[in-house]
Chains A and B, each alone.
Chain A
């Protein structure tokens, strides 16, 4: 396992009914396949006896998004502050976020975080981010 804080994505293998049900029952406290707690705690699920997530399956993000190991926005708690490092996104989306102020070195603050979704304060505005989006933005402590 990587020593640094980990990034998570929804398990694409999971069936649709379980995925939809999982959306309703996910929790913020554990990672599937690793017991109920881990140093990162950024993944959320309750594991069943088969060591599979009984609620919503999450797994360690592989190389798909090309995000290097390190601190990402989704690891920040509510109230946390950080500085943006890099956006690992397709060019069009990246430019859009750059124009909205998420440039390198910008200080952001997490206003609210629930179920992986977060509202951040960036410059003078507020942005709502999905967990997948937050996992693709690397940052460093402010």
Chain B
């Protein structure tokens, strides 16, 4: 099957082109060993041939400074696709063609797809397609992917590329002195074997001081040649800047001959909206209002669907009990229904929340608002060592930590992403909010309850700040880079893309979480029910009693320890476990806890349960997103220690004040 690579800069509508070609028949995974999303789809050409389309990550250039750039260039160099479709935003041609000049150096046939022609028209651009194709030396096809126009011509060009009829390599070249230098370096490199790497490409990357190319060449060539290469490259001062300038000079020449554009600095309608949305005084209140609206929508739409799933699992559980009960002993049936099904049901109840969250936030991203939110929030998060983009994750964390951790993928680099993942569990998710409301109701007077809740959120914010400062200055130490972000033009949302995006996020959660959840839920059930048949005499109960001395400094008896252990499966189960252990039901649990647990112990338990280890699903999501058990363990250990410290302080303070 022919393979076509789809490339382009971020926000050029690459996903729309991918969806239009594959008609959503796609598979999403990660690149081996990396947490960069890989989309693969298959489509059929008019002549009946099937084509595999690989959607490469959006990237501004092909240096080796980000994973996305390395993945893109390595894929093309190693897999040698039959053609590269380079999607460019017709309303932002000058910057988009920069990547085109780099793609041309990879030595594969290229087809340029001019997407968003409608937007370009609205911006007053007049593009002479024939002149553009002539100046670029490449086939150019205009497409409005959202309306699926221009696809027939694209199919034709793909067919030609697969048949070897499109041998266009573009007209791009550097100035004569630079070309001469490239020729010299290329000639020297030709004495060596570099596997998939074209000599000219390597020579250009050496001139650009590309770290990966530099290492590859240093490991391959002789010492004498290495010195000679360094001398040759050194003939060009400030090489990276010079080469970038020459690329843009060529692009400007192309555009001058083919495109009529707006004058620089003229305020577009998008700019006028930004004057309000990124304003110093209105920016944050507007952001908060938009997010309040988003969350109220999420929490209005999710619960009925969650109930539906919960009822579905309850029905399935009853069905299994009634059908297996007569033929099997009691415990395997209960293991299946109360253990596996209950655990999987809990994990599945997150599905509507995740889907709706990613739909709503996908919408904000698609219209271009997320970039503005990051720009506005960087001012406030910067002093905490967190990038502006972390704000979205932290905010989502107050709904549910799972999608919040998945959303950390928007971070600029792996360290920022890891930092965001590490601090997100300190946000009080909705499951913990349920526990908090019950415990506050049990241990505090109604008139102070709202202030305690507010104090809890403030404490969470202070902890996030402290932990991020500590991590940023120790294990995740990086030089703080000054902040910048591209602000794409606002545009109407593409619902098909948004729903597809949300669906893939949900599917990825479902696939990963469901497999672990079933096993761990079964294990937890066994620990809570064997050998005694009741939790008091179970392994978990005995373990709790055995661990009672550990709970002593915090004022915990064995039942509180067991409730905390059970809360690891899902935070909501903390309450259910307390109910079982203290013989209380939903109606009287507050009164029973007030009567059974001293205030100091109650306060200590409240603080501990809010900040100790993330729940099972969150922990597994941290593992998936960080790609590391070490960091997952770190997250579990540090939150446990932090909760212990706070709980200890709360307990002894309460005792002292009493």
A: residues with CB less than 8 A from B are: 16, 19-20, 23, 79, 81, 86-87, 89-101, 103-109, 111-112, 114-115, 117, 119, 121, 123-130, 132-133, 135-136
Contact = CB atoms under 8 A, between A and B. Distances in A.
A19 B379 CA distance: 11
25 contacts: A23-B379, A81-B265, A87-B241, A90-B479, A91-B209, A92-B63, A93-B481, A95-B244, A96-B60, A96-B65, A100-B95, A103-B245, A104-B241, A105-B245, A108-B264, A115-B379, A119-B375, A123-B92, A124-B94, A126-B270, A126-B271, A126-B488, A128-B372, A130-B379, A133-B482
A60 to B, nearest CB: 17
B274 interface: yes
A96 B485 contact: no
A109 B437 CA distance: 52
B481 A90 contact: yes
Interface stretch (B275-283, B547-555, B649-657): B275-283
B416 to A, nearest CB: 13
Interface in B58-79: 60-61, 63, 65
Contacts of A115: 280, 379
B326 interface: no
A98 B241 CA distance: 7
Please indicate which of the listed interface residues A91, A99, A108, A126 has the most CB atoms of chain B within 10 Å of its own CB.
A99
B98 interface: yes
B264 A121 contact: yes
Contacts of B94: 101, 123-124
B162 interface: no
Interface in B88-142: 91-95, 98-99
B271 A112 contact: yes
B382 interface: yes
Contacts, number: 138
A132 to B, nearest CB: 4
Interface string B371-384: 11001001110110
Contacts of A89: 482
A136 B378 CA distance: 18
Nearest to A24: B380
B240 interface: yes
Nearest to A115: B280
B375 A128 contact: yes
B267 interface: yes
Contact of A112 (B93, B95, B274, B489): B274
Please indicate which of the listed interface residues A97, A101, A106, A126 has the most CB atoms of chain B within 10 Å of its own CB.
A126
A108 B264 CA distance: 7
Contacts of A91: 209, 240
B483 interface: yes
A81 B278 contact: no
Contacts of B208: 95
Please indicate which of the listed interface residues B208, B375, B379 has the most CB atoms of chain A within 10 Å of its own CB.
B379
Contacts of B479: 90
A122 to B, nearest CB: 8
A130 B240 contact: no
Given A117-B375, A121-B264, A127 B244 contact: no
B240 A94 contact: yes
A136 B248 contact: no
Given A81-B265, A103-B241, A125-B486, 9 more contacts: A20-B380, A100-B60, A101-B248, A104-B245, A115-B379, A117-B278, A119-B278, A125-B487, A126-B486
Nearest to B487: A126
A100 B251 CA distance: 13
B383 A97 contact: no
B91 A114 contact: no
A132 B483 contact: yes
